[in-house]
Structure 1
Amino acid sequence: MEKPASKTILIVCGVLVLAVAAFLLFGRGGTPGDTSPEAGFARDMATHHAQAVDMAFVIRDKGPAKEISSLAFDIINTQSNQRGMFLGWLQQWGLTQATDQKPMAWMSGHGHGGTATAANGATPGVMPGMATPQQLTQLKQAQGRQAEVLFLQLMIRHHEGGVQMAEGLLKLSTRPEVVGMAQKIIQGQSGEIKFMTELLKLRGAQPYPSILKPQ
């Protein structure tokens, strides 16, 4: 039978371990730490959104069909606002916008980042759905229907990557404002994926193979 003193020591040790773990995960004051899923999500999603906004500006300036112009306008406004929130969180948490960590390191061991095997063929250390420099050049050079189709294909893939990242965050965090934003991204971008797929069909084209897991 354990002595009361021994039990007290075990309890104190357990509390200390939990306190250290909480400090490493969230940092001082209960805010997310530099390597936390919340900080990684905010940084990576800010970069991810920035590319979507850039692509939306490119297609908007080409004078596309009204429905694509409206879609581009919505993406520019929604994702610019959300990006501002991500950067605002980092400032509020006392964290830098830039980091030495590789993209998606916050999901290491969860299908992305580090040396983990990425899900659905995604490249470890690379944010899912991002357009390559070559694809961005093609979009800038394309005109007319070709530009509309390429934009829709690239943006569907981009949105799928955003949904993938948001779903990953939900598995790793319970912080209300971050979880709420991830849920908004999943709902909003899933709806836009369906809409853009319909716009492609009207143009006799199909999306790229999906990078999302079947539901």
Structure 2
Amino acid sequence: MKLTAVLVLLAGVALSAYWLLTPSTPGDESPEAGFARDMQVHHAQAVRMAMVVRDRTTDPEIRTLAYDIATTQQHQIGQMYAWLTLWGLPQAPSGPPMTWMRDHHADTPGEPASMPGMATADQLKALEKASGREAEVLFLRLMIPHHQGGASMAQAALQLTAQREVRLLAQAMLTAQSSEIEVMRRLLTARGDSGLQKTSAAGP
């Protein structure tokens, strides 16, 4: 009888530990949900820019980089879309974007931040009109700060969540985008251009 009681007690302790150590399903206003929604938007612009430049250059290195960015980030969009579906949450936020990151990236403390690194509508139009070397340089000028913005969002997610799948993806994004930034800086320098200030992306 005592052995049974001990086993029941141990089972209860193990179950309690499991629930304490396992993150609960994220809520609608959680950093996990905010990250999944906003990073889908951020990634979608990267995919668009990558596909545009891939059609406007014959340079094999730029085309390979653009294809890698587009396919990787489109796949990650699918993952984040699936999270929200699995969590029973809507894909669209009920409030303004970036509220989940307000304490990590905001112009005014306590206020929602702008989405970092996003290109403006005018910059996208300029990229779509360009071709050849001009398109390559403009793409690199826009994508470097875009990647920097995405990396800052991934870093914030790592600081704000204990959800395993979110942490794994955020770390993968941070690693890949940091590496690609170095590649793009090299490609930009090789084209005789190191002045990112000439075409700054929207957001800090």
TM-score, normalised relative to structure 1: 0.78
Match of 2:150 in 1: 162
User: What secondary structure sits across from 2:115 in the alignment?
Assistant: coil
Answer yes or no: is the 8 Å Cα contact 2:34–2:93 preserved in 1: no
Q: Aligned partners of 2:94 and 2:166: how far apart in 1?
A: 22
Q: Does 1:87 align with 2:75?
A: no
* Structure 1 gap ranges (5+): 1-21, 119-123
Q: Aligned partners of 2:63 and 2:196: how far apart in 1?
A: 21
Answer yes or no: is the 8 Å Cα contact 1:110–1:116 preserved in 2: no
From 46, 63, 75, give the equivalent of 2:69: 75
By how many angstroms is 1:128 displaced?
0.2
Distance 1:117 1:34, change over 3 A: closer
* Structure 2 gap ranges (5+): 1-19
Higher relative contact order (CA 8 A, sep 6+): 2
Counterpart residue type for residue 64 of structure 1: T
Q: Does 1:41 align with 2:39?
A: no
Counterpart residue type for residue 112 of structure 1: A
Match of 2:119 in 1: 131
From 61, 64, 71, give the equivalent of 2:58: 64
Q: Aligned partners of 2:140 and 2:148: how far apart in 1?
A: 12
By how many angstroms is 1:64 displaced?
3.3
TM-score, normalised relative to structure 2: 0.82
By how many angstroms is 1:142 displaced?
1.3
Counterpart residue type for residue 35 of structure 1: E
Distance 1:45 1:207, change over 3 A: farther
How many residues in Structure 1 have an aligned counterpart in Structure 2? 178
Answer yes or no: is the 8 Å Cα contact 1:105–1:112 preserved in 2: no
Give me the identity figure in percent: 52
